[in-house]
Amino acid sequence: MIPPKPASRPDRVSLWRYMQLFRRDILSAQPARLYRAWMAEFRTPFFRSYLMNQPELVKTVLRDRPDDFPKSDRIGEGLRPLLGNSVFLTNGDTWKRQRRIIDPAFEGGRLRETFEAMWDASEAAAQRLPEGVTEIEEQTSHAAADVIFRTLFSIPIENDLASAVFHEFRAYQRSQPILNLAAFVPLPGWMPRLFRRDTRASAARIRDLITQLVEQRADQIVQGVAPDDLATKIMTTVDPETGDTFSAEEMVDQVAIFFLAGHETSASALAWALYLLALYPDWQARVAAEAQALERCDFAVMSKLPITRDVFRETLRLYPPVPMMVREASCPERFRDRDVRKGSQLVLSPWHLHRHTRLWDRPDDFDPARWHTENGKACQRDAYIPFSAGARVCTGAGFAMVEGPLILARLLRDTEVSVMPERVPVPVAHLTVRAKDGIWLNLRKRER
């Protein structure tokens, strides 16, 4: 049994048709040949883009020469009303300064310090799970948002401000287009960007709510009563090179991306993990057996969840929350005997790389045991980038690899999930890889 995968388009379609397909769903807009190609070129009247699957090319762009291939503005342009000048969108010295301030909050022992908040969020998520037929993405979104607010601001999702941000963000998800016009047409800097009115309004409301949270925390820091959480750590960290801290507006930008990246991506991965385990009950039983270790709030329990971690890692392979990343060539290049002009867009696609037929054994199969094979170990090193790689690797990668297995195990400790055969989810790419009409599962209490 092969997990669901979107159908591919024909190899040749017109640019207009491609733009229509791309805007509707970036995954099904791609031809099947990309699952076996090392490099593919796509031309528009305004620019050229190259999808790169060859591990050596991916390594060059992400690890060896990241400064030569900055993040492209084309895809991020549509997110700017919400994310402002956040670390997700910046490049060069601005990005390096932001990372110098943010990274210490996620280093080493900080994961242990946030574990209690993650534990509390996973307990609350388990208590909220209903019985019967349930759209599971809604449940995982709630759980992931709860983790963000508890670890970032020491407040549960039930807090009025936290709840308002969460519900407003759901409205933003529905209004956010996959691509802004700038993705296809290079607009000059002076020209106003075209955003849907409801998208811009929703982003403004989210930023207003986040501003209230940041201002409250700034007051607590001044008064000396701020909790020792991620927000306090980031707001009080001094850039070792400049001596500056984030301004209030900069902190709003960063909180916006923490919520987007930490909530949206985790919710996507958890929902697909639960679906896959419903589809493969033998693996579900193994995860549930491991979950018996989750009887007390102790970071040491994570060492008792190796199967759950493999399941979550395999979920990130099959359904990477961020399916494509776009970089820009800052100077002329030559890759695989092709001249790549300055300004060309370089597309690195975890979705295609993780399912590449020339790299992976049985690439479309769900097999958590693959990580202990020679092929799996080699591909994990060379062809597995759910959190990107190199200098721009996701700051919260370690955070996510604790949060995901913990919540997954805790939910399955007391609940059994099964598929609805008549409702097979179809993966589509919005802000992350989600299911077109949701992921519907049947839930019932597990006998222990």
Residue 39 lies in a domain: yes
d(CA 422, CA 194): 39
CB neighbour list of residue 38: distance below 8 Å, 6 or more residues apart: 52, 53, 54, 57, 336, 358
The whole-model pTM stands at: 0.92
Residue 152 lies in a domain: yes
d(CA 256, CA 359): 36
Structure tokens at 357: 């037929």
Q: What are phi and psi of 425, to 5 degrees?
A: -70, 140
436, with CB counted inside 10 A (0-12, 13-18, 19+), is middle
Give the CATH number for residue 234.
1.10.630.10
Q: What is the rounded average pLDDT for all residues in the chain?
A: 89
Whole-number Cα distances in Å, 355 to 271, 314, 363, 448: 20, 11, 5, 37
d(CA 88, CA 78): 13
d(CA 354, CA 445): 34
Task: Decide if pLDDT at 137 tops 80.
Answer: yes
Task: Decide if pLDDT at 20 tops 70.
Answer: no
List the one residue out of 412, 127, 173, 436 whose CA is nearest residue 273: 412
> Which tens digits make up the pLDDT trace of 278-304?
999 999 999 999 999 888 889 999 999
Task: Decide if pLDDT at 47 tops 80.
Answer: no
Number of folded domains that form the chain = 1
- Average pLDDT for residues 88-100, to the nearest whole number? 93
d(CA 136, CA 195): 30
Residue 9 lies in a domain: no
Give 41 or 109, the one with higher predicted confidence.
41
> Which tens digits make up the pLDDT trace of 335-349?
999 999 999 999 999
Q: Are 297 and 119 in contact (CB under 8 A)?
A: yes
Give 295 or 122, the one with higher predicted confidence.
122
Structure tokens at 16: 């207009």
pLDDT of residue 299: 92
Query: Which contacts qualify for 28-31: CB closer than 8 Å, 24 or more apart?
Result: 28/428, 30/352
Residue 5 lies in a domain: no
* 333-335 vs 338-340, strand pairing mode: antiparallel
Residue 6 lies in a domain: no
Residue 374 lies in a domain: yes
Sheet with 39-43, side-by-side order of all strands:
39-43, 48-52, 345-348, 325-328
Task: Decide if pLDDT at 145 tops 60.
Answer: yes
End-to-end CA distance of the chain: 28
The Cβ of residue 144 has, within 10 Å, a number of other Cβ atoms equal to 28
pLDDT of residue 172: 78
Residue 109 lies in a domain: yes
Task: Decide if pLDDT at 250 tops 70.
Answer: yes
CB neighbour list of residue 17: distance below 8 Å, 6 or more residues apart: none
Task: Decide if pLDDT at 227 tops 60.
Answer: yes
> Which tens digits make up the pLDDT trace of 353-372?
999 999 999 999 999 999 99
Residue 140 lies in a domain: yes
Domain containing 173 equals 15-445
Q: Are 424 and 4 in contact (CB under 8 A)?
A: yes
